[in-house]
Every structure is written in C-alpha cells, then in structure tokens.
Amino acid sequence: MAKNKKYNILITGAVGFISSCLAQRLFSDGHSLILVDNFHFPIKNKNLKGLSSCQKIERDDLFNWIEENEPTIDFVFHLGARTDTTETKTHIFDKLNVEYSQDIWRYCALEDIPLIYASSAATYGLGENGFVDDHDLVKSLKPLNAYGDSKNDFDKWALEEFMSPPAWYGFKFFNVFGPNEYHKGRMASVVFHFYHQLINNGEVNLFKSHKENCEHGEQTRDFVYIEDLINVMLHFHSNNEKIRSGLYNIGTGKSRTYNDLAKAIFKAVDKAPKINYIDTPEDIREKYQYFTEAEMTKVKSTGYDKEFISLEESVDHYIKEYLAKDNKIYTPESY
C-alpha cells in the first residue's frame, strides 16, 4: 500500500487499549475509520476522544451492517478480543476469540482485504519451546490459560485454512504498556499498577523468586511501549504487498527485570527506590513465568529497522505525559 494514500480502515475492539491508540494514530494520518466494539461502557469510550466523526458499529451488528451497506474497506485491524487471563469459561473465548475471528478472516478472504489480527505471547506458555514465531512450533505450544489457548487455537486454524486474505499477519504481543489502559483494572500493565502503588503507598511490591537460581525481582519480561507496537503494525500495513503473511512477535527483543522496571518508575517520579518483595500467590506459583523475550529476527527481516524505545525512556514518557496527568488520553503528537 502506498504510504501517503488515505485508506478506509476497519478496527475491532476500538475502545480498547491498543486499538484506540492505533485509531488515534491512523486518524491523525488522515485515514477514514470504521470503529467496531461494544460501546455501552462510558468509562472506555473516552478513549475515542476526537474520533466522533468516525463510523461506529456495535460488535454484534457488524456483519449485518456490512451486508446492508456494502462498505469499501481497504484494510482490517482485528484487535478486539476477550483478554481476561483469569476467565475460565471457555465458551466465551470460543465465541469472541475464535469464532468471531474466523468470521472476520472469511470476510477479508472473500473481499480480498489485508488483515492484521492480535494473537498473543500468552500462546508460548512457560516458554518450553522458546519464544520464536516459527509456524512449525505452533502445534507444540502449551498456553497456561483459556485465553492463551483461544489465541493459539485461532493461530492454528489460520495456518491451516485454505482460503485466506491477500495478506495477513497475526501479531504475538508481549508485555505492552501505555496510555488508554486505565479501564483494564487488574489486567492493566504492571507499569500502571506499580506507578499507582508508588503514588498511594510510597513503595512497590514485587514477587519474590521461588527458584534457587533467581534473586527476588530478577524475573524478566519483554516490556514493549505502545508507540513501538503501533510503529511495527503500521510498517506491515504500509508494506503488506511485500511482506510474507504469517505469525510475528512484537516485543523489543530485550528482556528486562522487574527490579529494572521498578527503579525506572521511581526515577521517573524522582524518588529513591523502595521495593518490597512478597510471596508469589500459591495458586499461580507453579505456572509463573520467570523469563519472556520476543525473538524479533522475523520482524526485522521485513525491513523494519527502527530502534525500540528503551524501558527507562518509555516508562519516563508514559508517567510524565500520561499517568501523572490523570490518565490523559493517547495523542500521537506526544512522543
């Protein structure tokens, strides 16, 4: 797709964290947007500030609306999903994360529309097979919860489906953080939660290590800022005629410790670190991940050459430009 051309783009999960930030960026670039979600939650709808001129379609009405209106759609970002990792009702994930995604896929295939959809790093489970976005490994992955299972189930289905969109990319998002996640409650990023712990209590709680070869707080994650995530997705959007379809990781490729993260948060508010180490709850202790890190060779092979923002710089920006300003809504001009 030509980089300067304006497109009609459909985005699902539009009021959510990642989708709403992406929508703001695309709208600021002059694209026309069709926003799809359940819009009955006022607290989340403020993520769409400034997007009142965009077409909004209720999630359950989408395909009827398409049939009645036959809209011109040039690209689909299917980022809507049930993301609660503590949810155990598999039928909810089957409906929203698998069956609805299959319907989106079939529509894009029939109408010849390129598709980007959200997979998840949760598909990797404990990382027994590494964190490599290799299609040959997908059937061997062992997610730790129903959410991860649903994402992996759809990945497997997509890889085996004969009829497909002209270009499609399933992105395995790692630990994403940034503005517009204020509504996610316990599912918000640890950056969000640690910042509010610091502001409310003057200290941050980290899980103790329950492994002999790992010190407290030295468990690691691949933390990726929303700006980098959007940059990668837009690279694929702009170059989908050249990039091979498939599954791709989006992280930074650099795993960092929770101690590093906590120290970055304290530095951003100009306070000396005060960290407490608490026991990892027994109900999650056996399945607790001690290391995640996205293998990013595949993304870089597509010609993506931007440097990822460092943990310290991104945490500083998130806190000073957003969290310290009472959860200001994402603005593309702020970074």
pLDDT digits (tens, 9 = 90+) for 86-107: 778 899 999 999 999 999 999 9
Q: Is the pLDDT of residue 334 over 90?
A: no
What is the amino acid identity at position 81?
A
Query: At 210, is the pLDDT very low, low, confident or very high (cuts 50, 70, 90)?
Result: very high
Query: At 43, is the pLDDT very low, low, confident or very high (cuts 50, 70, 90)?
Result: confident
User: Of 77-91, 106-120, 287-301, where does mean pLDDT reach its minimum?
Assistant: 77-91
Q: Is 21 helix (H, G, I), strand (E, B) or coil?
A: helix
CB atoms within 10 A of CB 18: 24
pLDDT at residue 115 in the model:
98
pTM, full prediction? 0.96
Query: At 3, is the pLDDT very low, low, confident or very high (cuts 50, 70, 90)?
Result: low
pLDDT at residue 328 in the model:
87
Which is more confidently placed, 36 or 186? 36
Nearest by Cα to 37 from 193, 210, 183? 183
Q: Is 114 helix (H, G, I), strand (E, B) or coil?
A: coil
Quick one: average pLDDT of 212-216?
A: 94
Instruction: Please identify which residue in the block is written with the tokens 């996640």.
Output: 181
Rounded Cα distance between 11 and 15, Å, is 10
pLDDT at residue 244 in the model:
98
- Distance from chain centroid for Cα 165: 21
Give, for 206, the enclosing helix (H) or strand (E). Answer: strand 204-207
Q: Is 316 helix (H, G, I), strand (E, B) or coil?
A: helix
What is the amino acid identity at position 265?
I
Q: Is the pLDDT of residue 4 over 80?
A: no
Beta carbons of 258 and 217 less than 8 angstroms apart: yes
User: Of 67-76, 168-177, 322-331, where does mean pLDDT reach its minimum?
Assistant: 322-331
pLDDT at residue 236 in the model:
98
Query: At 216, is the pLDDT very low, low, confident or very high (cuts 50, 70, 90)?
Result: very high
Per-residue pLDDT tens for 126-145? 999 999 999 999 999 999 99
- Distance from chain centroid for Cα 335: 19
Q: Is the pLDDT of residue 178 over 90?
A: yes
Rounded Cα distance between 44 and 13, Å, is 11
Beta carbons of 112 and 76 less than 8 angstroms apart: no
Please give the positions annotated as active site.
147, 184
CB atoms within 10 A of CB 136: 9
Q: Is 224 helix (H, G, I), strand (E, B) or coil?
A: strand
Rounded Cα distance between 159 and 164, Å, is 9
CATH of 8-178+223-253+293-309, one of 3.40.50.970, 3.40.50.720, 3.40.640.10, 3.40.50.2300: 3.40.50.720
Rounded Cα distance between 129 and 111, Å, is 36
Rounded Cα distance between 40 and 44, Å, is 9
Contacts of 68 by beta carbon, 8 Å cutoff, 6+ apart: none
Give, for 277, the enclosing helix (H) or strand (E). Answer: strand 275-278
Rounded Cα distance between 2 and 105, Å, is 23
Per-residue pLDDT tens for 224-278? 999 999 999 999 999 999 999 999 999 999 999 999 999 999 999 999 999 999 9
What φ, ψ does residue 275 adopt, rounded to 5°? -120, 130
Query: At 41, is the pLDDT very low, low, confident or very high (cuts 50, 70, 90)?
Result: confident
Instruction: Please identify which residue in the block is written with the tokens 């945490």.
Output: 315
Radius of gyration of the chain (CA): 20
